[in-house]
Structure 1
């Protein structure tokens, strides 16, 4: 699936992405500032998340729940990771076996830790306001 969108289209984009997902593990590939976290917030909102969400860059992982407290998603940002052992130390393998979605930014930092059951989502910056999304 490919989509060209602007930030004001994110609600519709998130709905379309969720319909197309065939895995609960989604790897986000995009340059800094492309809108990975913003898209993840929109996905969580569409899933019924009550958390406003923020980039977990400093905490590495955020958890999102619905109104009843049910776990919806985990959001990892591995930008500041120095090596794969850090991801193992924080329990990545346990998170991957939990119900709900696992959204991972900067998965290139943990290439040997991701199973084969995932989908890649790439965001390309076309201009200041426009992005191109490719879901494979």
Structure 2
């Protein structure tokens, strides 16, 4: 596990680099943290480092957004906050995404815990202050 403490948002690229480095062959990244912790902001930074030029926003109502990175790499961004029952993820076809080999960045993985693959990269975000965060990446 790697722990990174930042005191300002402009330090986020080092966190994004660490998350990307931790993935290796794994393709599902579960981001855990309270509302407003910065999950979407970190995903925006990860996407930028991977060459995404589209606007990255949380897919709160759509549940999943797709972006294209460098080399036409597909990146899927999930927000399961509004899921009330994990069975709703089946309707979405989550398996096709999670087992596609494409990068899947997942906000609110707690809502679908039992559906996550075993080899997930987990990022825990702790809010230390208005601008400071601690990230645990495993």
Runs of at least 4 residues of structure 1 off by over 4 A? none
Which structure 2 segments of 5+ residues have no match?
A: none
Q: State TM-score, norm by structure 2.
A: 0.92
For the residue of structure 2 that corresponds to 1:112, the secondary structure is helix
The aligned residue for residue 104 of structure 2 is 102
Candidates 34, 48, 53, aligned match of 1:45: 48
- Deviations along 1:49-74, one digit per CA (max 9) or x if unpaired, are 12121011111001110366x23311
| CA RMSD in angstroms, aligned pairs only | 1.3
The aligned residue for residue 4 of structure 2 is 3
Q: State TM-score, norm by structure 1.
A: 0.93
Would the aligned equivalents of 1:49 and 1:72 in 2 still touch at CA under 8 Å?
Answer: no
- Between Structure 1 and Structure 2, how many residues are aligned? 135
Distance in 2 between residues matched to 1:111 and 1:13, nearest whole Å: 24
Which structure 1 segments of 5+ residues have no match?
A: none
Q: How does 1:21-32 map to 2 (within 5 A)?
A: 21-22=23-24, 23-32=26-35
- Deviations along 1:77-106, one digit per CA (max 9) or x if unpaired, are 000101011111011011112232111111
